[in-house]
A and B are shown apart, each in its own frame.
Chain A
Amino acid sequence: MPFTMRRRTSSECTLLNSFSRQLPLLVSAAALACGDPGETLSEGQGGSAGASGSTAGTSGGATGSGGGSLGGSSSGASAAGGSSSGGTNAGGVTSSGGVTAGGTTASQGGTPNALGGAAASQGGTTTSSGGMTSGSGGGGNPSCTATGFYVKDGSLYDVKCKEFVLRGVNYPYTWYATRNSAQDLAAIAATGANAVRLVLSSGQRWTKTTANDLTSLINTAKLNKLVSIVEVHDTTGYSEQSGSVALSNATNYWKATDIMAALMGQEAYVILNIANEPNGNNTSTDWAPSHVAAVQALRTAGLNHTLMVDAPNWGQDWQGTMRGGGGASIWNADTKKNLVFSVHMYDVYGSSSTVTTYFNTFLMNYEAPLVVGEFAADHGTAGDVDEATIMALSESLGVGYLGWSWAGNSADLATLDIATNFNSASLTTWGNRLINGENGIKATSKPCTCFN
């Protein structure tokens, strides 16, 4: 993709925005030039005004979405009704009310091409029961009764019944527990990420992450408007890697009374990634049966969170077990049907065709969503990763991605660090690609409306 528009500098944006309040057409130009995903031409943002009957909001106040503008009209027409956040959108830039985007989109809500409209209307009838057991506001969508993340039609939805696409990074908490994680999570949030995958330990290989630690991490992430994906890393590569432990150890960690207490009530903000890469190559045939047992155990224990299941073969699924439908028994074992699958894309995914085939085949075979739970631009000397295709297809298919990892990788995998020495002001080549590059976090991340 050789073309792009340059983002405006803040001073240019300030000037444009000051004009835009008076000149409707300038709104689109300002949004085009200054916007982030929530800002640009405010596609669909005002749409829920029609669905919910609420008026468009004014949060952020940077620009209006300009129903009278080029962008406001066209995007509103195609995506009207899509937003369930109504006038309280989180983009930081909203319309000047129903007169512009709200009014335009409301009048055109229900355009057949507007998938968003479907999502909004389906909010109250989702098949996933994990987060849908009792009513809550829904933020402008009166039919939304979610109490946490849930899954519908192959996508993940948040507590406000808005589709949520993960865009974030992995944070190596357990190996750097003495660091100021609050500072690190704030830096991660500042990249525009909407989620962070937290590396934890059940205590078998590293120092156990305590319930207090977990509570603190979740709360810090929430303060920074980051959805937490929590995972136990001790299982990595079982049984090839020395010291790695079986999946049941991770299940037992989550079921412990104190850990359960830290997780309960956080269903709107936390996704539970049962275990990191718990099946190497030797145990890949045990992947489905062991996860069936894990899912049943966690549900029986009373954990209703969205569960995330890592693929076999060190998460890379090179044998195609998961992508080919081998996880159907895991999905079927989940009484809540509130589960996402996660593939880790490294050197197995060094070409566009491998990545494309993976996405296409998985999406053909599952009702559950797919997430790229780890990936990078290379895997050290093991080989290149086609991160451009991963990011482009993730974006066009609504698949979540989480880059590995914020910092602290060993020397042989130092190219996988996103920030040099945890310093967000010094992004590595990979970090710059992930955050600022095409289809990167800055360009594509949308905040979870669970924080609205």
Chain B
Amino acid sequence: MAKRRILRLSLLLALTMGATFAGARLTKKLATDAAAPSASSSDSPRFSNEQRQAITQLSVRLRQQNAAVPSQAVPGASNAEIITYIAESSEDPEVIAAALSEVESRYSSRSSQKPLPDAALERVLLKHLDAPNPRVAHAALLAARVALMTKDPSDALTRRLANAAAPERPANRRHAALEGLSWLRPDRRSAYVLSALEQALSASEPHLLSLSLLALSQSAPSLAALEPSARERIARRVLELGEHADPGVRGRALLVLAEVAELVPAGARLSTGQQHLLDPHPYVRAQAADLLLRCREPLAIHQLIALVPDMALARYELGGFDELEGQPGVLLHSVPGRKRVAEAALLAILSLSQALPGVAALSLTLGGREQSEAQVLQSAEIARTWYRAEEARIPKQSVAVP
């Protein structure tokens, strides 16, 4: 350990001693260079030759420490430009990946405490997103998150990801691109982004379908701005995917209907939810209960009550695909906050009951910490008792409540 420290210290000293010959001259030149605009993407004039030499040595150190140091935070908001420059200028995939992995901690999507993603970062990300080396491409994708989550994400970057999601691209690249597009703010998904997501709805791979549906479920404001014909196409396809063989795809189709209220007519939304309460997979049943909660139709209580003793875990893992770097991928499907089907049904009933005039309040003990099966069954009994008393007052016809 001590030897390693000495080696590192020596490297640091070598780095700095070597470049210090330039001394104060560098100080002045740096200010000039840093202020100058870039001439081109491949030849940044911001740094002097001496500085580039120092950066090269810094890159060597990055590479060495990458191999030596376990994953841990690198302190602070600093030196974004250096990291970006190294990621752009290095030809060593390990150094590029290491530098890219630093990007997210060097920039901020919106805080004044760090620089916003800028043109230099965009250039670097565009350069590496399609890199043949999967490690570099993956690091570039992760680095892109900070740029994609800004209020005004780069159009070039977004288009690149949309193109990478195209059907002719390898499945693992499409998967990565869809993940990247899902980081855009819900109201910042342009028509071409939605088009890319729509194209992915025709994929043969369930994981691509699931991921695309997830992204669409988060796109309500952008979908609202889409031209009606495109929106109708997407709506039709989402309803079709509600019948897909894979439960992850079926559940995520219901998720889209739950989150994007205006995508299909209210009647179709409600009947889809009701129909899937009988789905063979518990995750889909729980997702259907959530859809009915969002439909705000108290009449659904009459169906939901049948699910309150359903103790099946509302969880599904979709595997059978490889991620960008080749490792097996798994997409977890669950209904946040509701571990069992019964909890999804109970909370939907609770929520719908709260808006019913003239009906006694239902009060459950669900929430907070994890509920044991006995506690859930206790709540189920409370709900059934309440339902028996109030059944006649719960509408059987459509009466949307706020």
Residue positions of A touching B, CB distance < 8 A: 1-7, 9, 12, 15-16, 19, 23-26, 28-33, 35-44, 67-79, 82, 99-100, 103-104, 107-108, 113-116, 118-119, 154-155, 163, 165, 236-237, 239-241, 280-282, 284-285, 313-314, 316, 318-319, 347-351, 353-354, 356-357, 359-361, 363-364, 379-383, 392-393, 395-398, 412-413, 436-440, 442-444, 446
List B contacts of A30 (CB < 8 A): 12
Smallest CB gap from B19: residue in A: A25
A290 CB to closest chain B CB (Å) equals 14
Among A6, A70, A443, contact of B8 (Cβ-Cβ < 8 Å) = A6
Other 17 A-B pairs with CB < 8 A, given A363-B110, A364-B186, A395-B108: A1-B142, A3-B65, A23-B17, A37-B76, A43-B77, A43-B115, A71-B79, A75-B81, A78-B81, A100-B27, A240-B363, A240-B364, A282-B354, A316-B337, A319-B351, A356-B182, A360-B149
Asked, given contacts A68-B30, A113-B116, A363-B110, whether A240 binds B339 with beta carbons under 8 Å apart, the answer is: no
A119–B112 contact, CB under 8 A?
Answer: yes
Among A349, A351, A360, contact of B186 (Cβ-Cβ < 8 Å) = A360
**B23 adjacent to chain A (CB < 8 Å):** yes
B79–A29 contact, CB under 8 A?
Answer: no
B112–A115 contact, CB under 8 A?
Answer: yes
Among A37, A104, A395, contact of B31 (Cβ-Cβ < 8 Å) = A104
Among A29, A281, A349, contact of B347 (Cβ-Cβ < 8 Å) = A281
Among B27, B182, B339, contact of A67 (Cβ-Cβ < 8 Å) = B27
Q: Which of the 9-residue segments B97-105, B168-176, B198-206, B273-281 touches chain A?
A: B97-105
Residue among B30, B184, B221 with max Cβ neighbours from chain A (10 Å): B30
Smallest CB gap from B85: residue in A: A74
Among B30, B75, B109, B362, contact of A104 (Cβ-Cβ < 8 Å) = B30
How far apart are the CA atoms of A42 and B8 in the complex, in Å?
22
List A contacts of B114 (CB < 8 A): 43, 79, 115
**B145 adjacent to chain A (CB < 8 Å):** yes
A9–B71 contact, CB under 8 A?
Answer: no
List A contacts of B359 (CB < 8 A): none
A397–B16 contact, CB under 8 A?
Answer: no
B76–A40 contact, CB under 8 A?
Answer: yes
List A contacts of B19 (CB < 8 A): 25
List B contacts of A9 (CB < 8 A): 5
A281–B367 contact, CB under 8 A?
Answer: yes
List B contacts of A359 (CB < 8 A): 149
List B contacts of A357 (CB < 8 A): 218
List A contacts of B16 (CB < 8 A): 19, 23, 25-26, 28-29
B79–A43 contact, CB under 8 A?
Answer: yes
B35–A108 contact, CB under 8 A?
Answer: yes
List A contacts of B102 (CB < 8 A): 3
Q: Which of the 9-residue segments B51-59, B224-232, B239-247, B264-272 touches chain A?
A: B51-59
A76–B334 contact, CB under 8 A?
Answer: no
A436–B115 contact, CB under 8 A?
Answer: no
List A contacts of B327 (CB < 8 A): none
For window 12-44 of B, CB contacts with A under 8 Å fall at: 12-13, 15-17, 19-20, 22-24, 26-28, 30-31, 33-35
B337–A318 contact, CB under 8 A?
Answer: yes
**B46 adjacent to chain A (CB < 8 Å):** yes
How far apart are the CA atoms of A163 and B77 in the complex, in Å?
14
List A contacts of B336 (CB < 8 A): 318, 347-351, 354
